Structure 1
């Protein structure tokens, strides 16, 4: 998970424009069975051997609750159609075809259970996917996250979630306004996710799911949200396995820096009064995000979870792994070439000189690691003498920007006696002949296996299919038992010190002790600072 300006739509140039979500049209499928939830009855649709329920309301409209904790959905009478995705939180333009609204607390369910007179009564593992886009953008409606294939392959129930983002979910106002209604404003987006998980606990059995086997998995910002939930007492017991994919949260924002960001946000809007702020139309409120971040000194103002001493009373993985999450088995992974996914396939970056690498690395590190770039480049040239300048640029920026936090999470789990299962994705996407390696988002694309979705870069050849089956089977096994070991992979050993066992996913998956150990040792010379802290 990186700076909010590099959300899911910013990973690859033009990706947002091409990702058609089909969030408004109803499913072209046969009528599905009616399911009774705690709030009322819903009707989904049958599609490809899976029952699909879109736009299930789990919380009340948040517009009247701006900057306040969410409330459960009000009961209804009759049967509500669950055939189209619900709106996403306001976030600029959003995705094509997607409605944006503060009334955004909706989730989606894919289940292979019959749910009719032939219902088998089985309890299936539940895989809840939390979307990326830092804490700023995204929704559970992307065709990348369609749960049909995963639900059928694993006989599992798949859930995706919308929740409040950016200022609607993480603008910390508690120290600016002496008003108890904004005491939780810095973490309302996280509290939305807690409410969604409570909905899963209370309702998923009616969809054939097991409320005692709920796995969270999320990529980029989704992984960071999961790591944060692992430190939140309110979320304890609501999920039983967790997988963070290229997204970690070692530390949250502190209250002083979060307050400075809120001041910058309000200053950009020219508003000092809470009543006026609440009355501002949502699209105008988003204008405050264009304020220069007072801590980073550039970019838009960061929004993310806050150490508010209420819903979040400690950092997720500092000074150690949060005790509330230690009983939850964990997968922690990254892709080998994360930052190749942040450049919009700009092939000019493949022709960099050594001087350009030294000049450009500090912007990638962006105070996460404060280390001399010339020293880094010299070390990489010794470690990997065959690397080109661009190879070194992407490898070093990945190690200093994204990978270090994953190592911290795994190490802290191990020290606490609750090691994670760690993976590294080395499989190269076939796009442009493989020059982009294994970039950010590739692991998520392979787990879901939606090869035909817009902008998916896996291709659909035999290698891609095999990689999907390998990763999906490991995640499905993890959802079912809390252990990812299965016939599709070699024996996956938990991460321990000093060995640092890691499953390297490639055409031939293998266990490896401390992959990229020389890079890890290089960046251990300096402390890591989570962006936003």
Structure 2
């Protein structure tokens, strides 16, 4: 017997990795994932059919099921895009139109665990980004007792494109916002399948930053997303802008077809255009505005502006966290800030003079107004509207800068909060100090406790009061401490008043 035991032990050890590989069954088929640090991950899961050929510019179609057990240990393709060099939100995955994949991290990959679910929508101006970026690895959030999902959605002209024949083809259904349809399809996949990964389909939090945060706001008030989530976190997502209507988007679609020497009514020829022609170099620096609409007020998924619909109670029943960073556009060189400020203030109409006066000096106005117009005031106004309409809401301002970056950055710039949300500072190229790690833990704890209970407050965290429009207070996550502060600064109130007055005309 003693001679047999060592051999048996070696046999068991050799078999252990395969035996421990978690397997779950979805409505498409079985998936085999991997386990690391006590967390199971399943990557590259198709949530819709590849949007290629006749499915380019088509609503997401169901996945064809597979036989056997599909390997889910590697990410899928990124959606086609023109990546921004040096962006930590990039991934290294190949790009393809066949890109509708999502990823799941779970501490309990078994049905019946009923863990809260957090679904993340990446940013990138609706033209770049990936759910497979290293900073979005869900391991450290999942270790807090939640199931984490990240996803890809169609970008640029693949994701947002309309022409009259496409509208006719939709036969009264949604058209143009293919990327938003992808997000909704992914959330519907979560509803149908997340229980197999240990998640609770009745307790889903959708969260995102930048274009992802704006998507969250749009989904909160969209009839097409009703019932797919109960909590929402919109980080640096704006929300006071108006998207072009369907007719304007169709006109740009026709202009694109004309440029490419394709008859606008010839959908087969449009769908056969090479990938690089359709992509056209669109990214954050190249909007190709004469031929590309971006996201659309299509009348089905997006029925109006987020702020207007929030005020009308369209998000009733959804609990929300809304916020922005302290110096969103602080990465813009000072010589360019004046031009940004002039362009931004042109949207304020007669209230522009009052806004300038609220800043106290031309220097302060030029330095801050673009960030405040684009991110700070929208977060304040969305929180005000949601709370006034009865939605439990919390407002924050993220102002923490990693210690090694403080010499170069006076405040938290756009997207610098994302590695803190995921507690993934090292993945962002940061060598974290103890203080950095403390703040990352704090933010991730707030986010996951909100997902668990619908309230970000938890023992050991600084108290975060629920937003009250009559006496608005925000959580301020700053360099030295996390505390609360009044949210209605004179500059923000002046911008809000100017915008509201302009919108009434």
Determine if the TM-score, normalized by the shorter chain, exceeds 0.5: yes
Measured after TM superposition, the shift of residue 209 of structure 1 is: 1.0
Measured after TM superposition, the shift of residue 93 of structure 1 is: 4.8
| Structure 2 residue aligned with 1:277 | 270
- The whole-number CA distance in structure 2 between the counterparts of 1:486 and 1:268 is 56
Superposed CA deviations along residues 229-282 of structure 1, whole A, max 9, x for unmatched, are 112222111111000000133443322332333234334433333221111122
| Structure 1 residue aligned with 2:42 | 53
- The whole-number CA distance in structure 2 between the counterparts of 1:228 and 1:164 is 16
| Structure 2 residue aligned with 1:486 | 458
| Structure 2 residue aligned with 1:200 | 190
Distance 1:81 1:476, change over 3 A: same
Superposed CA deviations along residues 450-469 of structure 1, whole A, max 9, x for unmatched, are 1221445xx41111111111
Aligned counterparts, 1:274-423, within 5 A: 274-287=267-280, 289=282, 292-294=288-290, 301-304=292-295, 306-318=296-308, 320-321=310-311, 323-341=313-331, 343=332, 349=334, 358-363=338-343, 365=344, 367-370=346-349, 379-381=358-360, 389=363, 392-423=365-396
- 1:99 pairs with 94, 103, 113, which one? 94
| Structure 2 residue aligned with 1:6 | none
Check the 8 A contact 2:83/2:128 in 1, yes or no: no
Q: Helix, strand or coil: the match of 2:22?
A: strand
Distance 1:437 1:371, change over 3 A: farther
Measured after TM superposition, the shift of residue 165 of structure 1 is: 1.6
Superposed CA deviations along residues 308-366 of structure 1, whole A, max 9, x for unmatched, are 2233333332154464421110000101111114x3xx5xx3xx5xxx75455224x17
Superposed CA deviations along residues 59-80 of structure 1, whole A, max 9, x for unmatched, are 1111131111111211111000
- 1:139 pairs with 115, 130, 136, which one? 130
- 2:233 pairs with 230, 237, 243, which one? 243
- The whole-number CA distance in structure 2 between the counterparts of 1:235 and 1:482 is 19
- The whole-number CA distance in structure 1 between the counterparts of 2:467 and 2:359 is 25
Matched, 1:263 2:263: no
Measured after TM superposition, the shift of residue 166 of structure 1 is: 1.5
| Structure 2 residue aligned with 1:438 | 412
| Structure 2 residue aligned with 1:5 | none
Q: Helix, strand or coil: the match of 1:490?
A: coil
Check the 8 A contact 1:58/1:195 in 2, yes or no: yes
Larger Rg: 1 or 2? 2
Superposed CA deviations along residues 124-150 of structure 1, whole A, max 9, x for unmatched, are 111111100021111100001011111
- The whole-number CA distance in structure 2 between the counterparts of 1:261 and 1:322 is 31
Distance 1:438 1:301, change over 3 A: same
- The whole-number CA distance in structure 1 between the counterparts of 2:304 and 2:365 is 36
| Structure 2 residue aligned with 1:22 | none
Alpha-carbon RMSD across the aligned residues, in angstroms, is 2.8
Q: Helix, strand or coil: the match of 1:172?
A: coil
| Structure 2 residue aligned with 1:160 | 150
Q: Helix, strand or coil: the match of 2:40?
A: strand
- The whole-number CA distance in structure 2 between the counterparts of 1:372 and 1:416 is 26
Superposed CA deviations along residues 348-404 of structure 1, whole A, max 9, x for unmatched, are x3xx5xxx75455224x175445798875664245xxxxx94x65332221122222
Distance 1:209 1:421, change over 3 A: same
Superposed CA deviations along residues 204-231 of structure 1, whole A, max 9, x for unmatched, are 1111111111111100000111111112
Check the 8 A contact 2:457/2:463 in 1, yes or no: yes
Measured after TM superposition, the shift of residue 527 of structure 1 is: 1.9
| Structure 2 residue aligned with 1:109 | 104
Q: Helix, strand or coil: the match of 1:487?
A: coil
Check the 8 A contact 2:313/2:390 in 1, yes or no: no
Distance 1:177 1:332, change over 3 A: closer
- 1:469 pairs with 423, 441, 457, which one? 441
Q: Helix, strand or coil: the match of 1:489?
A: coil
- The whole-number CA distance in structure 1 between the counterparts of 2:312 and 2:96 is 34
Uncovered stretches (5+) of structure 1, i.e. residues with no partner: 1-28, 295-299, 383-387
Check the 8 A contact 1:121/1:208 in 2, yes or no: yes
Distance 1:371 1:268, change over 3 A: farther
Matched, 1:81 2:71: yes
- 1:34 pairs with 23, 38, 41, which one? 23
Q: Helix, strand or coil: the match of 2:41?
A: strand
Distance 1:485 1:78, change over 3 A: same
Moved more, 213-222 or 272-281: 272-281
Distance 1:371 1:52, change over 3 A: farther
